[in-house]
Structure 1
Amino acid sequence: MKRYITLLFFGILNILIAAGCSSDDKGSDKPAEPEVIAPVAIEKTNSTKIYVHYMPWFETNESSADKKWGYHWTMANKNPNTVGANNRREIASYYYPLIGPYHSGDKNVIENHLLLMKYSGIDGVLIDWYGTYDVFDYRMVKENTEQLIAMLNKVGLEYAIVYEDRVTKSAVDAGKAISVTAAAKTDLAYMEKNYFDDANYIKVNGKPLLLNFGPIVLQTPAEWTNVFNTITTKPTFITLWDQSVEAGANASGEYAWVYKNNSYLTNFYTNTKPKLDVAIGSAYPGFKDFYAEGGGGAAIGWTIEHNNGVTLDETLSMAKNANLNFLQLITWNDFGEGTMFEPTVEFGYTYIEKVKAFAGVKSTESVFAEISKMYNLRIEKKSNADVQQKLDQAFNYFVSAQPAKAKQLINEIK
């Protein structure tokens, strides 16, 4: 009898303990872990692959080791620590990013940029890349690039490298490479090992796409043959317009850029494109460089006015009429030359709205303001783990093409 009473006592005690734990769990404020969802492509009607040229070269006083703002915000004479009207910092540009000047390796900045791209119908990013050598700010650019790459797959966007072969001379001048071809071989070997095999690295004709801004230093087919002979996978190599002759048979085509006026683009589509195996067109909102005013050297010497979006309308229309397989938007964020598609104080979301229309994005739901709000909440509530976890969930909703759920979650945060 005593044994029965003892067992009954402990049985009741266990039930009470279990009930107490259950009650405590229900009353807990601990948020649920964000649901990780695979990225889903945004539906659109335009089959042209839309890529955007991207500069990963921005640095702030908080991100740099020497606590100084990077050259691309300052040039020679601007000080972003000086805050003027409307709480705007002094930067080397006529235009001001909607999220303010930033560090290109900042996860929150990258999240903001890639979500805006995704919902405007952009398929991928063409990353302006300065190689592997620790010269000037090249290492910082490489590190920022790899922060960007780390999030691209999560968002569901592709990428490829735009190699600045001018960096090979810098590596030689700094005593870090024995020749410009040796420097290029080192850079290409790094790309092959770390980028080309990525599932979301852009492939054209079954091979990794590699653009070159030039050639500028390696200007003979023999030099490029020498460079490419050292890697296993020869890429689909695309030079700047009218410069494929410098790479010879190594080049698979050319891409258009921005220059003086739209007539150069007309010439590319009419006379050059038909001769190329691979042609990448361009669209841009305008061009207005800050070099002279910023003390960053001589002005380019010509301007393409933005004309309240008319220039972009014209270049997108030209791209549509050219029946392109590939289009490069110039650029996401070259603030020094005023070619940015990134939302600005001056133009708001106008340019990415136009891209969205060109891409034929099927969803008419407006999400750009909430993506910006998400960035602001990331910063304002950076020490609030609960809010950050909700924003992580909103990110997962955005990348899985569930914007209504993302917007609801963001707008519930106070």
Structure 2
Amino acid sequence: MKKYITLLFFGIMSILAAAGCSSDDNGSDEPTKPETLAPVAIEKTNSTKIYMHYMSWFETNESSADKKWGYHWTMANKNPNNTDANGRREIASHYYPLIGPYHSGDKNVIENHLLMMKYAGVDGLLIDWYGTYDVNDYRIVKENTEQLIALLNKVGLEYAIVYEDRFLTNVVNAGKAISVTSAAKTDLAYMEKNYFEDDNYIKINGKPLLLNFGPIVLQTPAEWTNVFNILTAKPTFLTLWDQSVEAGANASGEYAWVYKDNSYLTNFYINTKPKLGVAMGSAYPGFKDFYAQGGGGAAIGWTIEHNNGATLDETLSLAKNANLNYLQLITWNDFGEGTMFEPTTDFGYTYVEKVKAFSGVKNTESFFAEISKLYNLRIQKKGNADAQKKLDQAFNYFVSMQPAKAKELLNEIK
């Protein structure tokens, strides 16, 4: 009997010791797993749906297959490997992103952009999209877009596609499709299968929203009817202002853009909007392209000065007075045309702060600097698993609208 009692005693002690070692190992060798929190919508008073036009076309020398910076940072004659005395890279823009030039498929960049937009009161993104074909940089744009989409739901933002039919001719000329309509059908079928059914894909009047930057190649109602026949149901389809006639009955309405001066917006709101089923307004901080300086082609030929934020104030005021259901902000990051809302070294957080005020975000405290700090720490602590787990937790606090907790956690990371 004593033999069995002795064996039982040592067996229990061994189990307790093993449990203790296991507990110690988890506590000391592995970082605490971050708490996953569901996204919470930001509280705001403006009922207008506010969407941000977004470009996913940026590549760096680290992300691209040929180890060269992408066209949208270089155009024809700029070299981002060159830096000035302040460490700023030489890029094809009059303006400089606060986080520096980046790769659009970088998760840390996407995280930064989406949190900035969420805290500014933006409801969703309208993503500039070139289609499915491996021609020029179209495949890269598609891949970067899908990296973006993968994080959108985690942040709690919606999205829709802005289809660029202007590039369909390039697809045919490259021998990838037999006609522009067959290429468009392939693209639309892909959208329906992979995007339209997403819970956070923007729906208007119960149908997925699809914008077209044009039409430019498919310029007749018959062509659009042919293309849309591939779909189970037609989308809520918006063309550029004054161009819905080219889509005929396929068009559900139009969206405003940026052109020469603000009088075109005024005309859209007064004369065009009342005639449309769905009208989407626009607001922008300015327009100043870099094409001539960058060797990227002829200059557009006109400029809308930023005027220290006055241009954005005016276009937001026009939007407010127009009593819009939908507003597109132009753009988050078209640095080549100088229409960016993204924080820059030139304007800081001025434009996202103005959007936040327009949105009527109820929490008036600003957390944009903390969102930047999250990005900077992601870069500084690369390879530090413990720090990255804490940063994951800070991200979860941000998306669940607990920014004070995120700020406190960020301040703990040295």
- TM bracket (short chain): over 0.9
Matched AA of 2:413: I
Question: Residue 243 of structure 1: CA displacement?
Answer: 0.2
Question: Residue 331 of structure 1: CA displacement?
Answer: 0.1
Matched AA of 1:409: L
Retained in 1: the 8 A contact 2:31–2:385? no
Question: Residue 137 of structure 1: CA displacement?
Answer: 0.4
Q: Could you state the TM-score of these two structures normalised by the residue count of structure 2?
A: 0.98
Residue in 2 aligned with 1:224?
Answer: 224
**Percent of aligned positions that are identical:** 86
Q: Deviations over 1:258-302 (max 9, x none)?
A: 000000000000000000000000000000000000000000000
SS of the aligned residue for 2:253 comes to strand
Give the direction of change, closer, same or farther, for the CA distance of 1:133–1:22 in structure 2 (3 Å limit): closer
**2:164 is the alignment partner of 1:153:** no
Q: Distance in 1 between matches of 2:36 and 2:23?
A: 28
**2:114 is the alignment partner of 1:106:** no
Question: Residue 369 of structure 1: CA displacement?
Answer: 0.5
Question: Residue 18 of structure 1: CA displacement?
Answer: 5.4
Question: Residue 11 of structure 1: CA displacement?
Answer: 5.6
Retained in 1: the 8 A contact 2:104–2:110? yes
Cα RMSD of the aligned pairs, angstroms, is 1.4
Matched AA of 1:40: V
Question: Residue 30 of structure 1: CA displacement?
Answer: 2.6
Retained in 2: the 8 A contact 1:239–1:253? yes
Question: Residue 21 of structure 1: CA displacement?
Answer: 2.8
Residue in 1 aligned with 2:144?
Answer: 144
Question: Residue 41 of structure 1: CA displacement?
Answer: 0.2
Runs of 4+ that moved beyond 4 A: none
**2:165 is the alignment partner of 1:200:** no
SS of the aligned residue for 2:151 comes to helix
Residue in 1 aligned with 2:388?
Answer: 388
**Comparing 6-15 with 122-131, which one deviates more in the overlay?**
6-15
Matched AA of 1:44: K
Q: Distance in 2 between matches of 1:177 and 1:406?
A: 49
Q: Distance in 2 between matches of 1:381 and 1:345?
A: 23
Question: Residue 366 of structure 1: CA displacement?
Answer: 1.6
Residue in 1 aligned with 2:290?
Answer: 290
Retained in 1: the 8 A contact 2:273–2:279? yes
Question: Residue 13 of structure 1: CA displacement?
Answer: 2.8
Retained in 2: the 8 A contact 1:284–1:339? yes
SS of the aligned residue for 1:189 comes to helix
Residue in 1 aligned with 2:307?
Answer: 307
Q: Distance in 1 between matches of 2:399 and 2:194?
A: 24
SS of the aligned residue for 2:292 comes to coil
Residue in 2 aligned with 1:355?
Answer: 355
Retained in 1: the 8 A contact 2:92–2:294? yes
Question: Residue 222 of structure 1: CA displacement?
Answer: 0.6
Retained in 2: the 8 A contact 1:192–1:233? no
Question: Residue 115 of structure 1: CA displacement?
Answer: 0.4
Give the direction of change, closer, same or farther, for the CA distance of 1:309–1:176 in structure 2 (3 Å limit): same
Q: Distance in 2 between matches of 1:26 and 1:51?
A: 44
Question: Residue 151 of structure 1: CA displacement?
Answer: 0.3
Give the direction of change, closer, same or farther, for the CA distance of 1:12–1:246 in structure 2 (3 Å limit): closer
Q: Distance in 1 between matches of 2:43 and 2:20?
A: 49
Q: Distance in 2 between matches of 1:29 and 1:10?
A: 27
Within-5 A mapping of 1:13-412: 13-14=13-14, 17=17, 20-21=20-21, 24=24, 28-412=28-412
Question: Residue 61 of structure 1: CA displacement?
Answer: 0.3
SS of the aligned residue for 1:237 comes to strand
Q: Distance in 2 between matches of 1:236 and 1:145?
A: 21
SS of the aligned residue for 2:186 comes to helix
Q: Distance in 2 between matches of 1:78 and 1:160?
A: 32
Q: Distance in 2 between matches of 1:227 and 1:4?
A: 81
Retained in 1: the 8 A contact 2:367–2:403? yes
Q: Could you state the TM-score of these two structures normalised by the residue count of structure 1?
A: 0.98
Aligned length: 414
Question: Residue 231 of structure 1: CA displacement?
Answer: 1.1
**Consecutive unaligned residues in structure 1, runs of 5 or more:** none
Question: Residue 25 of structure 1: CA displacement?
Answer: 5.0
**Consecutive unaligned residues in structure 2, runs of 5 or more:** none
SS of the aligned residue for 1:17 comes to helix
SS of the aligned residue for 2:61 comes to coil
SS of the aligned residue for 1:47 comes to coil
SS of the aligned residue for 1:328 comes to strand
Retained in 2: the 8 A contact 1:286–1:312? yes
Give the direction of change, closer, same or farther, for the CA distance of 1:80–1:23 in structure 2 (3 Å limit): closer
